[in-house]
Structure 1
């Protein structure tokens, strides 16, 4: 079966404001083929019509393509390293911290950051900004309710202090929810806010083409204040940080020069 990806990419850009050209081609097309078949379509023209007419099919497509996989304190040892950087480098340097959690998915990451900030009594300059391209996912994030597998990395103390168990789901404490503001944002197409002391964007750029990833890194650097920190994912080590105006503090943590 031959699929007209040129048609579908153009259609997605016009109708969903989604730039699929920025994603790694082979991986993306395989995922589109899978989710198209799951929807019962035989070609991309038919699939585009289904997405236009069925909100659930549209939501399933966006969720599958934008890779909403996350958990609290993902890669726990690396997260602990970032916590130390916050306490030992950023707080003495800036006093109050302005943080952006980019591509935040269901909210586990920004709520993890809020727990760190509250636990260590680190003053936040503004609410933690948490952004994602997928509005239905942001709605789930705002609710702040999670299943047991999503909170597996949370310590017993943090679970006791910051969550309420309702039947088999865990609700984030209102104090933590009030430390985060969620906003729809497209890392490829939208403008970036500025003035951040720390930007966290993890396990996202691996899905983009090199030129798209490079552009995102440059925009992150511009959004950081001098001395600000960029925290990336466990599979996203930057091999040439100076090219982006950054210097390496550790394998996954970089400082704006």
Structure 2
């Protein structure tokens, strides 16, 4: 590993909390070198100074290094069901909901939950736990800037209300950011908090083995209060919800018995 890249990694970690050494070096170095050459920088030292002096370049660097691309309001129809059916039911039982976005990646999902809930109650009354195993994804989530492609499904009114255009990026409003607490967590190894009204874990379990999925469904079910809801992704239908103490509430929504 060249010295200037090593120094660059150390400087970026100190400045942003993002640890580039967790990524495959050859791949990441290639991505970043092509960006700095395109921008007219000579080496990584120069490039780091540029990033620190130019916010637009900093966001472009973040976009280039992000491998896991997620979206706001992914599968928008399901979020409509959440807003119109599931949340009113949950709020009729409990005015202040305990909500967890599990495997939250770069933050699109927990921020979507907050924006959907903001149609029903004030943002100041909303608090969401968001966890992921990837510290870099969490660091990106806390920055809260996203490329246009992440916002394709966001309703226009919500976009106008909660996003500000900054060059080629969209910055999410601080009022939304304040509703979410991010923590590092390994879903398989770590214990879960209890008594959640709503757990959202979407488009993640497809990467796990059947055995791991079984373990996680059991853990999620135990972490829900009776009557609480588990919301999964559109490739992750649970075919035997009863074996986890759950019943189907709607497509991709499961209620704890």
Task: Label 1:125 to 1:216 Cα distance change in 2 as closer, same or farther (>3 A).
Answer: farther
- Contact (CA 8 Å) 2:114, 2:123: kept in 1 or not? no
Q: Distance in 2 between matches of 1:177 and 1:75?
A: 22
For each residue in 1:70-91, what CA deviation from the matched residue of structure 2 results, as whole angstroms up to 9, or x when unmatched?
Answer: 2001111112112223333111
Could you list the runs of 5+ residues in structure 1 that have no partner in the other structure? 1-38, 40-54
**1:31-70 matches, cutoff 5 A:** 56-60=20-24, 68-70=68-70
Deviation (angstroms), 1:119 = 2.1
Q: Structure 2 length normalisation: TM-score?
A: 0.73
**1:1-257 matches, cutoff 5 A:** 56-60=20-24, 68-121=68-121, 127-257=127-257
Q: Distance in 2 between matches of 1:123 and 1:226?
A: 25
Deviation (angstroms), 1:117 = 1.5
Greater CA drift, 79-88 or 144-153: 79-88
For each residue in 1:190-236, what CA deviation from the matched residue of structure 2 results, as whole angstroms up to 9, or x when unmatched?
Answer: 11111210000001111111111000000001110100000000000
Deviation (angstroms), 1:69 = 3.7
Q: Tell me, what secondary structure is at the counterpart of 1:119? A: coil
Task: Label 1:197 to 1:130 Cα distance change in 2 as closer, same or farther (>3 A).
Answer: same
- Contact (CA 8 Å) 2:221, 2:246: kept in 1 or not? yes
Q: Distance in 1 between matches of 2:222 and 2:123?
A: 23
- Contact (CA 8 Å) 1:142, 1:177: kept in 2 or not? yes
Q: Structure 1 length normalisation: TM-score?
A: 0.73
Q: How many residues align?
A: 201
Deviation (angstroms), 1:143 = 0.8
Q: Distance in 2 between matches of 1:193 and 1:125?
A: 20
Q: Distance in 2 between matches of 1:110 and 1:154?
A: 14
Aligned-residue RMSD, C-alpha:
2.2
Query: 1:29 matched to which residue of 2?
Result: none
Deviation (angstroms), 1:123 = 7.5
